[in-house]
Every structure is written in C-alpha cells, then in structure tokens.
Amino acid sequence: MLNAAAAAQGENHSVSIGRKLITVLVTLVLVLIVAQSVSAQTSSSSIADTNARLAKLEQQAIDAKSSADNAWMLTSAALVLMMTGPGLALFYGGLVRKKNVLGTMMQSLALMAVVTVLWALFSYSLAFGAGNSFIGGLQNIFLRGVGAAPDVDYAATIPAQTFMVYQLMFAVITPALIAGAFAERMKFSAMLVFTILWSIIVYDPMAHMVWGKGGLLNASLGGRFPTLDFAGGTVVHVTSGVSALVCALYLGKRLGYPKESMPPHSVVLSCIGACLLWVGWFGFNAGSALGSGSLATSAFVATHFAAASATIGWAGAEWIRNGKPSVLGGISGAVAGLVAITPAAGFVKPMPALLIGLIAGVFCYLMVARVKAKLGYDDSLDAFGVHGAGGTLGAILTGVFAVSAVNPIFKDSQGNTLPSGLFEGNAHQLLNQCVGVLIAWGIAVVGTLVILKLVDVTIGLRVSEEEEVQGLDLSQHGEEGYYWEASA
Amino acid sequence: MTKIEAVIQNSKLEAVKTALQEIGVEGMTVIEVRGHGRQKGHTEVYRGREYSVDLIPKTKIEMVLPDALVEKAEQAILNAARTGKIGDGKIFRSRIDEAIRIRNDERGEGAL
C-alpha cells in the first residue's frame, strides 16, 4: 500500500519514474510468489541447510576472533622479547663502565637463550601446569599437550602454544632484571647457575601462585588470596627487585664504591634501551589481556600514561633538587612508571594511571637518590630501587584504584560483578594485595639467599679483584665492547 | 725549527685551523685530550650521585714550524681561540733539533 501510494505520488511529478516503480513492484511480487512455492516444497531441507550455514558462520566467527587475538599475542610476545634484547641489554649496558659493557649485555642475551630452553623442558609446566597452590605439576614437561588447541583456563581464543611462548618472554626478562644489582662484579658462570636456579625456585612458583591454575594468589581461577596482578607487578618486578637487593647485600660493593666515581659510560645507549623498554611494555601489559579486545586498549593506554607521568615525576624531582632535569632521570622515571603500572594496567582507568605513574616517578627517585645513599648498599644499576620499590608500590596502588568497570574480575555466585579495589568499596582487596606482595618478598628473599649461598660455596660468586679491575668484558668473555684498531 | 703546542677549547678547533691555514701553516696534528689548569671542573649528577669532573675535555694542536712562521702562527691562535673566559687554554713553544721526512730521509726545515 505504501509503495503503491509512493508510486502514485511519483506519477504526479514524473510519469517515467512511476512506470519504473510499477515495474519493480510487479517484479518483486512475482519473485515472492515463486520463492514461496519453492520454499513450501523444500522447507524441511532448507532448515537443515540454514542450520549448517549458521554453524559454519559461528565457526568462522570463532576462527576470525582467534586469528585476531593470535596476531596481537604473537606481536606482544615479540615485543616482550625485545624488552630483554636489545632493550634491557642497552639500558643496563649503558649504565656500567666501559670495561663491563659486553659482560652486562651478555647477561641479558644469555638469559634469552637459557631460560627458553628451561621453559621448553619443564619450567612452563612448573609455572602453568595444573598443580597445587604453590607450583604446577609435571604434566606439560617437554611441552606435552601444549599445541594448537587453546587452554581455556588461561586464554580461550589463542593456541596454547601462543600462550606458552608469550609467558616464556616474561620468564626471560625477570631474572635479567636482577643483573642490575650484581653488575660489574659477578662471574659469568656463577650468574648462569644463579639465574637458572632462581628461575626454577623463585620465578616458576611465583608465576604459578599468581597466574597458574589453582594458584594461591590467583584472582580469576579461585585462589585463596586473590591478588590483582595484571602483568606481573609481583611475579616479575617485586621478585626480581627484592632478589636484586639481596644480591647487592650478599655480594658486597664493587671495588672502589662509593669512593671512586662510576658514572654510566653511555647514557646514549641507556636512553635507546629505555625507550625500547617503553615500547616493548605495550606487549607486556596490553598483551596481558590475552586478546586484542578493549581490555588490551585500556591496558595500553594506562601503560603509556603512567610511563609519561613518571618521566615527568622523576625528572621534575631532579629539577627541583639539583637544578637540572637529566636524561638518565627521565628514562629511569619512565621505567619506574612502567613497573608500577604493570600490576594495575588492566584494572585502572586513565586518570588513576597518570597518578600511579607520577607517584612512582617521585617515589623511586627518592629510593634511588636518597634512601640508597643512606643505607649504603651497592645496587649498581638500581634494580631494587626501581623494580623492587616500584613493583611493591604498584601492587599496593592496584588494590586502591582497580575498578570493575575496566575489568569485572570478581563475581558472586550468581555472576554479578563485585567491586574490585578500595575506592570502589572493596577495602579487603588492599589486604590481599599486601599478602601477594609479602609472599613475593618472602620467596624472593629466602630463595635468593639459599641460591647465592649454594653458588658461593660451590663455584664462587665474584670475579677476582684482578678480573674486576680488568673488567668483565676481557676477564669473562675475552673481548672488548669498543675495540681500538691501531692499524685500521 | 720550533714546536708549538696549543691546548684550546674544543669548540675553537675549526676557527684555529682555518686561521693557521690562512697564514700558510701546512701541517698539524690534532689530539683530543683531557686536563685542567686553573679552571676547576664541573659536577655531574647521575641518579642523585654527584661526580666531580676535574679533567675537562680539550683539544691539543701540535705543529712544528720554520722559525719565520712562529710569531704569526701564535698570533693567529691567540686571535682565533680567545673568548676571554677562564678555560681558553695555553700555548707552549719549544725548540726542535731535527725533523726527518720518513719517505725520503729529507732533513731540516725542508722536511716540515
């Protein structure tokens, strides 16, 4: 009727348009009649057809989502590896003296290789295999059962193998961070044995407790003390930072510290390294959404915002205290902010992210520039001051600022969303965060002390005085970072 | 023959080199050096730790000249390298007994 009316109206304006409309209408009616008779004849087979097509569409939709998520997760895995090499290698390499640049870079490079092998053989299973509250079982050793099919407990839309290799990159960078504390004085062999044992005794259990199935602190898979740790504030930064402090205290100061001046030999290298860390951190934090949806975006934004405000925080604090903002201060602040936002990235909104970064920048500056000098330990590259202090701060602030609107992680038995952090009314979460932090501190202190003692009495930790004076590059690796070729 | 060693500000190297070339100095050796005279160093701060740097980077120009050119060369350096502030550097002059061109064993001022 409406069409007929429209056609009639059209005729008033233009005879030719009216004719065309009538032709179309007649055609439509004919098609409908034919279609109806056909569908009446084949209605039963057409329903089956439609169902089959729907099932196919559903599968295609699942495949498409899986492909999208997988693309981001593989990219993220690569970004996180880039944080260790070249990111951390350059960052730490620039901070040491010239004679130790290769020795320091080698620590990052070696862990990229060694931890990977451990992960393939048994570490993945210890961290992410189903086990008890503290450590995973052995069912996934040699990566058995870790293939193309997703592990629905962890990430339902990506191959379990993608999840495995993504998590591997975290296991690589964590012990590499500790190297900042024993830089310039540890034997390479001792460093290898130490970090292998540390990876198994400290990292794997901690990763299992926070992220593994049935882990004591797991927030989404029914842990006893659900600790919010989106991308590894406790697992990565508190454990590595606190272990770094233990290493610095156990190994003692570098020869000549603090009398001799030991300024960074190239803040240029460090600046490049820190900026690579900043970029790589998008894989670290936004990748921890384990998919490419809006949660990844939220974590990406929070990560970037915290890094920015922490850069301003540290460099600004320097500007006020010393009269000059430095590049080293700026990049140290950026890393401190990235560390602090790591546990919070997928739980907080952008404005709290800015605030967390700013607090972390100033706090870590005070830890490194004031507290360390007062206490007198030689944490050569400030692994504790940045990762230990920033990680602890971030883990606690996560309990303050987490909101369910960003990530509805807590639900009641009916599936209703419960509040996440203190400001949303879940004061208890602050307590859980503290439990998580305390456990991370505990396992790091005890585990590191035991391993250091073990390595010390067997092969010895420190290079000889002579080797330390000569530098790690020549004494440990027989090469120099900056070779002077007289005959070139 | 006379050797002139001039320790100058790094930023003045191009000006001094050009001035010397203009008066006919044909060869020189330039070395990056560190040192201090009366100029005190400066302080650098890395992560809150202060380091006093008392050996300051300078540029040293060495040249051995025929005696006739010495006064003009020194004047050229003075004009080109002077800012009037502490840290402008110094010029040292000393006698040279012999010069030998390695290529053909030529000796004396002809070898310069």
Q: Do A369 and B44 touch (CB under 8 A)?
A: no
A66 lies in some domain: no
How far is Cα B109 from Cα B112, in angstroms, rounded to an integer? 5
> Which residue from A minimizes the CA distance to B54?
A261
A62 lies in some domain: no
**Interval A390-418 mean pLDDT:** 94
What's the confidence (pLDDT) of residue A8?
Answer: 44
Task: Kindly state whether residues A243 and A314 are assigned to the same domain.
Answer: yes
Range of the domain at B97: 2-111
What DSSP letter does each residue of A211-237 carry, written as one string?
HSTT-TT-TTTT-SS----SS-IIIII
What's the confidence (pLDDT) of residue A26?
Answer: 78
Q: Do A369 and B52 touch (CB under 8 A)?
A: no
Residue A322: list chain B partners with CB under 8 A.
45
A10: confidence class by pLDDT, cuts 50, 70, 90: very low
Task: Kindly state whether residues A216 and A85 are assigned to the same domain.
Answer: yes
Task: Kindly state whether residues A128 and A21 are assigned to the same domain.
Answer: no
Partners of residue B45 on adjacent β-strands = B50
| pTM score of the predicted model | 0.85
**Interval B7-17 mean pLDDT:** 95
How many structural domains is chain A composed of?
2
**Interval A443-463 mean pLDDT:** 97
**Interval B31-56 mean pLDDT:** 85
Q: Does B44 touch chain A (CB under 8 A)?
A: yes
**Chain A, chain B: beta-carbon pairs less than 8 Å apart:** 29
**Interval A409-420 mean pLDDT:** 90
A442 lies in some domain: yes
Residue A268: list chain B partners with CB under 8 A.
none
Q: Are the C-beta atoms of A391 and A340 separated by less than 8 Å?
A: yes
A38: confidence class by pLDDT, cuts 50, 70, 90: low
Residue A370: list chain B partners with CB under 8 A.
48
How far is Cα A292 from Cα A180, in angstroms, rounded to an integer? 33
A230 lies in some domain: yes
What's the confidence (pLDDT) of residue B42?
Answer: 83
Task: Kindly state whether residues A33 and A90 are assigned to the same domain.
Answer: no
**B78–chain A nearest CA distance, Å:** 33
Point out the least confidently predicted range of A5-9, A430-434, B16-20: A5-9
Task: Kindly state whether residues A204 and A271 are assigned to the same domain.
Answer: yes
Q: Do B46 and A263 touch (CB under 8 A)?
A: yes
Q: Do A264 and B51 touch (CB under 8 A)?
A: no
Residue B51: list chain A partners with CB under 8 A.
261, 263
What's the confidence (pLDDT) of residue A37?
Answer: 61
Q: Does B86 touch chain A (CB under 8 A)?
A: no
How many structural domains is chain B composed of?
1
Q: Which two tokens stand for residue A339?
A: 């560390």
Q: Does B51 touch chain A (CB under 8 A)?
A: yes
Long-range CB pairs of A448-452, under 8 A, 24+ apart, other chains included: A448/A198, A448/A202, A448/A242, A448/A243, A448/A246, A448/A247, A448/A250, A449/A246, A449/A250, A450/A201, A451/A194, A451/A197, A451/A198, A451/A201, A451/A202, A452/A194, A452/A246, A452/A247, A452/A250, A452/A251
Range of the domain at A105: 71-477
Q: Does B32 touch chain A (CB under 8 A)?
A: no
* Residue-averaged pLDDT of chain A: 92
Q: Does B48 touch chain A (CB under 8 A)?
A: yes
Long-range CB pairs of A79-82, under 8 A, 24+ apart, other chains included: A79/A279, A79/A280, A79/A281, A79/A282, A79/A283, A79/A284, A79/A287, A80/A166, A80/A169, A80/A170, A80/A173, A80/A280, A80/A283, A80/A284, A80/A287, A81/A112, A81/A169, A81/A172, A81/A280, A82/A276, A82/A279, A82/A280, A82/A283
Domain CATH code at residue B66: 3.30.70.120
ipTM above 0.90, yes or no: no
Domain CATH code at residue A361: 1.10.3430.10
B36: confidence class by pLDDT, cuts 50, 70, 90: confident
**Interval B75-86 mean pLDDT:** 94
**Interval A319-328 mean pLDDT:** 95
Q: Residue A79: is its pLDDT beyond 90?
A: yes
Task: Kindly state whether residues A347 and A256 are assigned to the same domain.
Answer: yes
Q: Is the peptide bond before A86 cis (omega within 30 degrees of 0)?
A: yes
Backbone angles phi, psi at A242, to 5 degrees: -70, -40
Task: Kindly state whether residues A93 and A23 are assigned to the same domain.
Answer: no
